[in-house]
């Protein structure tokens, strides 16, 4: 059983919702708050694992019309007044929340060990280690490994590493996974990690030449071996930065048309109609593909990404030449440098 008991002064009366921390629009449970007192009771079967949770409620004064129960980060001790967050880790047993709503140092949550670990490491950046030099990279990974050795039970630490998995080598991930206890390793997230490692393309190996559906409703390989250089652009209709990048891609297309550059866009939309609508609006005159919705996760693993837009340059065999993650209005210069170096430096 999981029990959350709250005594929060001046909290609005009415219905409140327990959600996953980053999904306030999908309630997991609800209860009534009256005079700041509330109780959630959740059955936890053998498959239950701790997860990051939050408490939300209707609030017309907010732009989103949703209020959050903000909590003090007690792990910062004397600085706890400076830092707060609206999440805690939901674990088996009893969790208590006490304090005054929206008044610093905010209510205090008394929960389990996972919340301690999360609050302690809330500012620890487990990602982008690929952008630092080798000495600092080793130091950072050693720090992560030492944290896991201290808290081998922590699903929060496993999730943090998983969220930045693209930044780690296969050897680093395998070593890190081995530091967690057996329950964490055998969890659903542990299985996802192993699936990711199985599907991910190793560095220096060619990417799979996927056969995807085109806007002409035909299946074709994304890498045409008649072209020396392929520019794969992963995007989606709902991705604002991806749409902003399209004019840059049109300039690239016009400049290098006929130069053995194969420019293709690959959508990870899970709604084909929205993809089709975006194509009619953007009028991109190069080959357009869409990933089958049940293959999106696997292809993210194969091409090792979780953020779009993603641009991957490959040679005719599918081996990576250069990869760019995210949108930058100056990115066109970087793309042109890769293309020019490939064609004119040989």
Q: Residue 299 is encoded by which pair of tokens?
A: 């292809």
Q: Across the chain, what does the average pLDDT equal?
A: 91
Average pLDDT of the segment spanning 85-89: 93
Q: Which residues pair with 229 in a beta bridge?
A: 261, 315
Query: For the chain, where are the E strands, in sequence order?
Result: 2-9, 14-20, 27-33, 37-42, 51-58, 66-68, 71-72, 84-85, 88-90, 93-100, 108-110, 211-214, 219-221, 229-235, 261-267, 287-290, 310-315, 320-325
Query: In the prediction, which pLDDT does 345 show?
Result: 66
Fold of 211-344: Glutaredoxin (3.40.30)
Count of C-beta atoms within a 10 Å radius of residue 287: 17
Helix (H) or strand (E) segment spanning residue 301: helix 296-302
pLDDT tens sequence across 214-241: 999 999 999 999 999 999 999 999 999 9
Domain range list for the chain = 2-119, 129-199, 211-344
- What local confidence, expressed as pLDDT, does residue 130 receive? 61
Residue 113 above 90 pLDDT? yes
Structure confidence at residue 63 (pLDDT): 77
Q: Which two tokens stand for residue 268?
A: 């990870």
Whether residue 19 is predicted with pLDDT greater than 90 in this model: the reply is yes
Q: What is the DSSP letter of 207?
A: P
Which pLDDT score, from 0 to 100, does residue 45 have? Answer: 85
Say if CB 6 and CB 36 are below 8 A apart.
yes
pLDDT in tens, 282-322: 999 999 999 999 999 899 989 988 889 999 999 999 999 99
Q: Angle at Cα 109 formed by Cα 106 and Cα 110, nearest 5°?
A: 145
Residue 131 pLDDT:
58
DSSP state of 9: E
Given a cut of 60, is residue 166 above it in pLDDT? Answer: yes
């Amino acid at each position: 059983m999981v029990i959350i008991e709250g005594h929060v002064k001046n909290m609005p009366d009415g219905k409140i919702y327990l959600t996953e921390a980053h999904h306030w629009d999908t309630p997991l449970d609800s209860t009534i708050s009256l005079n700041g007192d509330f109780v959630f009771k959740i059955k936890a079967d053998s498959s239950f694992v701790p997860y990051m949770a939050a408490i939300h409620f209707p609030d017309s004064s907010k732009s989103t019309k949703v209020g959050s129960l903000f909590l003090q980060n007690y792990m910062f001790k004397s600085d706890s007044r400076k830092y707060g967050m609206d999440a805690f880790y939901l674990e088996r047993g009893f969790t208590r929340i006490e304090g005054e709503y929206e008044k610093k140092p905010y209510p205090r949550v008394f929960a389990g060990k996972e919340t301690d670990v999360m609050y302690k490491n809330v500012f620890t950046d487990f990602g982008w280690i690929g952008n630092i030099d080798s000495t600092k990279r080793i130091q950072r990974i050693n720090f992560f490994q030492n944290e896991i050795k201290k808290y081998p039970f922590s699903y929060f630490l496993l999730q943090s590493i998983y969220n930045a998995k693209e930044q780690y080598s296969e050897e680093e991930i395998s070593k890190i996974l081995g530091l967690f206890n057996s329950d964490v390793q055998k969890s659903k997230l542990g299985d996802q990690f192993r699936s990711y490692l199985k599907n991910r393309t190793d560095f220096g190996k060619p990417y799979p030449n996927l056969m995807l559906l085109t806007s002409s409703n035909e299946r074709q390989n994304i890498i045409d071996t008649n072209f020396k250089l392929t520019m794969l652009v992963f995007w989606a209709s709902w991705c604002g930065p991806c749409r902003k990048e399209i004019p840059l891609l049109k300039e690239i297309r016009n400049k290098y048309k006929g130069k053995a550059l194969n420019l293709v866009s690959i959508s990870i939309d899970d709604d084909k109609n929205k993809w089709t609508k975006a194509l009619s609006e953007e009028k991109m005159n190069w080959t357009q593909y869409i990933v089958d919705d049940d293959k999106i996760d696997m292809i993210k693993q194969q091409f090792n990404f979780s953020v779009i837009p993603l641009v991957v340059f490959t040679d005719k065999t599918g081996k990576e030449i250069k990869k760019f993650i995210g949108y930058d209005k100056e990115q066109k210069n970087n793309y042109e440098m890769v293309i020019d170096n490939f064609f004119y430096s040989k």
